[in-house]
Structure formats: C-alpha cells, structure tokens
Amino acid sequence: MMAFPAIIPGMAGWSEILLVLVLALILFGPKRLPEIAEAMGKSIRKFKAATREATDEVKREFDDPADGPQDKQDPPKP
C-alpha cells in the first residue's frame, strides 16, 4: 500500500507527528514535557483571547461607523 503525500504542503502526517513527539520526549524527558505542554496551552489561550478582542473591536467600529472616533475633549464653545 502506497502512502499518500500531504495534500497541503507543510502538513505533517502521523509518522512525522509521532517522530516529533518521540524526539520531544527524549530531549525534555517525561517530567518536563507536561510543564512545556501547559505553558504552550496557556500561550495559545492568551493569543486566542487577544485575537478575539481585536476582532470584536474591529467589528464594533464597522457596525457603528456613524459615531466615529470618540474625543475625550469637549468641543470648543462659540
């Protein structure tokens, strides 16, 4: 049976993922690996939150463009 090449360039198959996991286990050891995974999870969560916040801000600006930028100063009085 012939293995199918990745449809998307750079996409890893099961054998590549397994190889990376084995190498990570050898390099970092079983004690350090959960700590690294936890740190990566927290980083991804923070990145998603920041992306969501930026997306929401852009959507608010496009949904209500009549307001325009809000100036903190009072307009000059005649």
Q: How confident is the model at residue 73 (pLDDT cuts 50, 70, 90)?
A: low
Domain of 55, in residue numbers: 29-61
Provide the number of structural domains found in the chain.
1
pTM value > 0.75: no
CB 21 within 8 A of CB 30: no
Flag whether pLDDT at 44 surpasses 90.
Answer: yes
| Any domain includes 47 | yes
| Any domain includes 34 | yes
CB 33 within 8 A of CB 25: yes
Flag whether pLDDT at 42 surpasses 70.
Answer: yes
| Any domain includes 4 | no
| Any domain includes 45 | yes
Q: How far apart are CA 57 and CA 19, in angstroms?
A: 41
| Any domain includes 44 | yes
| Any domain includes 43 | yes
Question: pLDDT digits over 51-71, tens only?
Answer: 999 999 999 888 876 655 555
Interacting residues of 9 by C-beta distance below 8 A, sequence separation 6+: none
Question: pLDDT digits over 7-41, tens only?
Answer: 556 667 888 888 888 999 999 998 998 999 999 99
